[in-house]
Amino acid sequence: MATTLATKRLSKELAKITDIMPDGLTLVSATDFTSWTIDLTVLDANPLYLNQTFRLKFLFSDKYPMEPPEVVFVSLHEPPRPIPMHPHIYSNGIICLDLLGQNGWSPVQNVQSICVSLQSMLTGNSKNERPEGDTAFVATNRQRPRDINFYYHDDKV
Amino acid sequence: MPPPNTPVAHTPRSLSVDFTESLPFHNITVPPPNTPSSALDSPHHNRQYRSRAPQVVEEAVETDSSEIDESQHIDYRALTYADTVNENLICPICKVAFVDPVDTECEHTFCKECIAHALEHNDVCPFDRNPLPQPATLTRSHKIVINQLDSLLVECSSCRAHVPRSMLRNHLDRYCKEALVDCPDKGCLQQVRRKLVDQGCLHNNIACPDCEGIHQEVAMSKHREESCEERQRQCDHCGTNILRCKQTQHEEECVELIVPCIWVQYGCEHQCKRGELNLHKLECNFRLMGPMADILRKEIQTLQSDVRYLTDKEQLQERRIKFLEGGQRESHRHSNYEEWSSQALTPLADSAQVEPLSESTNEYLLNLLGDQERRISQLSSALTELEGKQTMMLFNETVPIKNQIAELQSNQQMTSMHIRWFMNWRKEDQLRLQQQQRRFGGGGGCAGGSGGASESEVDGGGSSSELATPRRSPDSLTRGLVTKL
């Protein structure tokens, strides 16, 4: 039941975003209903992210949209796709955003709304830094992003 | 939008489904928190109780699916809508038009299945994160929402026709030609498309004439067209690959097939490939005569049919004339109509004797029968007319009689009233006379006493208003009566 719900819902979303994609977003690949990649650019002239494009990877479980998808930034050399500098984005691409956690997620959210949230998260940022303890976290973390219990200590950024 | 009662009136089956589906949802309330149950007192049980809430929802979902197994399951989330559905009618969770919409306490609408799933994960409203009490009280959405959803046009998955969503079940159950229904053969447990139901059970195995493989009859044409390994062959004439089962059709249009000239029936002996026939047409000796001959042939055909019709008619009339002549002869003997009609068959025998070979007895009989029937119908219509007249007449006559009776009755009542009054008056008169006689004839002292007694007697017995004033002088009493009269 849940599997088909996920597939149906994703096919609806896919149909919608292939039709009209919001500015700054490009669908790179969506070959199946388990993993999609989307390119994202920041719309305003934030000097931190000027002329940069970032690649997002979505992983959907059977329980989507009841459970959040796993969303990470991925880095690539060709074409250049860096991990954006942000106090809530670890250098391995893991994003600390309550929207993507079990508690912050709501089935009303969708791929497009996640992308737009991330866009605005980057737009509003002015700190060229990684989260606290980034090196240690990146070196030790073996958990999947959605299983990590982030402490949302800072809602301002 | 259709009038609010249309979907219900026309879809008895879907209605019942709706009902059972919606029933647990009118109020998904597992006992209220303060239910006097000892189980709810301990925190442990309380937790159990909380986790039970979504279960109720799940039960409802399960009963749905079991019901769906019986009849053909319609997956409302996989439907194709004819037009783009209004954003406001789309469930934010599954992103399709609401299926069984329910409202939360914070007035957000979701499919009942979607919200049930969402509440399993997190007991807040997915829309505004408003905590929803467990168990969540979900109410069925307003009728106007449901009506709008019901009237959305969807594509039937079988026949591609567009039908209102609420009618889809009915459409599939009764009308859709492509829908799968039970095989007309009761013993056969398979299904067949509705349009093939008339042809009986097609689930017997037959051998494919091309590949000799065994397939069910119902699937044979598809097999021969699509999957049979031997389905194709080369046309003997043009060499293209054609389907074996479509060979006759192909031969009617194959350009390489040798065919005779189109004027072959008028004598052209030319034969060539169909593709080259057009060239021949231009130089055929019959190219001018052909169309003319065609016209003439048609003319002759119509004339022939006319002649046939006229001969038939003439024969019929001949027969009728004979019959009438015979009838006249008979009618000399039978002046009474009824007797005549009962023996109407005799002229047949007569005419048959006169010309036994030319008449077909059956036709004659039929004619006669028709005649009789016509007469009977005439008679019956006359009879009804008469009946009508009779009733009218009867009615017309009885009404004045009734009126007269009523008048007489009232007259009689009046007279009897008069008589009664008159008799009363006479009685009083007699009494008065007696009193006077006593007063003037009897002794003075005792007369007063007896007079008083008689007065009281009169007072008790008499009921008319005149008697209420017994002490008035007789003169004035009579005067009063006279004025009354």
Q: What is the pLDDT of residues A54-111, one digit of tens each?
A: 999 999 988 888 889 999 999 888 888 999 999 989 888 888 888 888 888 888 999 9
Sequence letter at residue A31? T
Is A145 contained in some domain? Answer: no
Residue A43 within a domain: yes
The ipTM (two decimal places) reads 0.77
Among A137-141, B100-104, B312-316, B409-413, the range scoring the smallest mean pLDDT is A137-141
Give the chain A residue whose CA is nearest to the CA of B120: A66
Residue B404 pLDDT exceeds 90 = yes
- Residue A107 sits at φ, ψ, to 5 deg, of -60, -10
Count of positions (residues) in chain A: 157
Do the domain assignments include residue A156?
A: no
pLDDT > 90 in chain B, percent: 23
Q: Residue B280 pairs with which residues in a beta bridge? A: none
Band (pLDDT 50/70/90 cuts) for residue A6 is confident
Percent over 70 (pLDDT), chain B: 69
Which residue type, as a one-letter code, is found at position B80? T
Interface of B with A in 22-81 (CB under 8 A): 61, 77-78
Give the model's pLDDT for residue B470: 47
**pLDDT at residue B298 tops 90:** yes
Rounded to whole angstroms, how far apart are CA atoms A63 and B55?
17
| Cα B132 to Cα B110: distance, rounded to the nearest angstrom | 14
User: In this model, does residue B467 exceed pLDDT 80?
Assistant: no
Residue of B nearest to A104 (CA): B129
Q: Is the pLDDT assigned to residue B125 strictly greater than 80?
A: yes
Question: Which of B59, B93, B104, B132 is best to mutate for the A interface (most A CBs within 10 A)?
Answer: B93
Q: Is A84 domain-assigned?
A: yes
Residue A116 inside a domain? The answer is: yes
By C-alpha distance, the chain B residue nearest A103 is: B122
Q: What chain B residue is nearest to A16 in terms of C-alpha separation?
A: B95
Q: How confident is the model at residue B403 (pLDDT cuts 50, 70, 90)?
A: very high
Domain enclosing residue A100, as ranges? 5-138
Q: If phi over 0 gives left and psi between -120 and 50 gives alpha, with beta otherwise, what is residue A93?
A: left
> Touching check for A3 and chain B: CB below 8 Å?
no
How far is A125 from A130, CA to CA, in rounded Å? Answer: 12
The verdict on a CB contact (< 8 Å) between B118 and A9 is no
Would the pLDDT of B261 be above 70?
Answer: yes
What pLDDT, on a 0 to 100 scale, did the predictor assign at position A151?
62
**Band of pLDDT at residue B221, cut at 50, 70 and 90:** confident
Check which CATH number belongs to the domain holding A129 and give it: 3.10.110.10
pLDDT for residue A36: 92
Q: Is residue A149 part of a domain?
A: no
Q: What is the CA radius of gyration of chain A?
A: 15
Q: With a CB-CB cutoff of 8 Å, which residues 110-139 of chain B face chain A?
A: 114, 117-118, 120-122, 124, 126-127, 129
Which range has the top average pLDDT, A15-29, A84-98, B301-315? B301-315
DSSP β-ladder status, B271-273 and B258-260: antiparallel
Mean pLDDT of B456-485: 47
Q: Is the pLDDT at B196 greater than 70, yes or no?
A: yes
Whether A115 shows a pLDDT value over 80: the answer reads yes
Contact between A90 and A96 under an 8 Å Cβ cutoff? The reply is: yes
Q: What is the pLDDT of residues B422-455, one digit of tens each?
A: 999 999 999 999 999 888 765 444 444 444 444 4
Which pLDDT score is estimated for B456? Answer: 43
Residues of A in contact with B117 (CB under 8 A): 2, 5, 66, 107
State whether residue A80 sits within 8 Å of chain B by CB.
no
Asked if the structure places residue A13 within a domain, the reply is: yes
Grouping H, G, I as helix, E, B as strand and the rest as coil, residue B243 is strand
Confidence label for B372 from pLDDT (cuts 50, 70 and 90): very high
A2 touches chain B (CB under 8 A): yes
Q: What is the pLDDT of residue B446?
A: 44
The mean per-residue pLDDT over the stretch A14-42 comes to 88
Read off the pLDDT of each residue in B277-299 and give the average, rounded to a whole number.
Answer: 86
CA–CA min distance A65, chain B (Å): 7
* Contacts A106 to B, Cβ<8 Å: 118, 122, 124, 126-127, 129
Q: How confident is the model at residue B330 (pLDDT cuts 50, 70, 90)?
A: low
For residues B302 and B310, give the distance between their C-alpha atoms in angstroms, rounded to a whole number: 12
Which of B77, B96, B118 lies closest to A107 in CB terms?
B118
What pLDDT is attached to residue B3?
A: 43
Question: Can you tell me the mean pLDDT for B8-29?
Answer: 40
Task: Look at residue B126 and give its three-state secondary structure.
Answer: coil
Average pLDDT value for residue range B266-270: 82
**Hey, what amino acid is at B428?**
E
Nearest Cα of chain B lies from the Cα of A4 at a distance, in angstroms, of 10
Q: What is the pLDDT of residue B376?
A: 95
Instruction: List A residues 94-123 in contact with B (Cβ-Cβ < 8 A).
Output: 102-103, 105-108, 110
Q: Are A68 and A100 in contact (CB under 8 A)?
A: yes
Using an 8 Å Cβ cutoff, are B116 and B57 in contact?
yes
Better-predicted residue by pLDDT, B473 or B179:
B179
Task: Count up the domains in chain A and report the number.
Answer: 1
Q: How far apart are CA A87 and CA A90, in angstroms?
A: 8
Is A115 one of the catalytic residues? no
Domain-embedded: residue A153: no
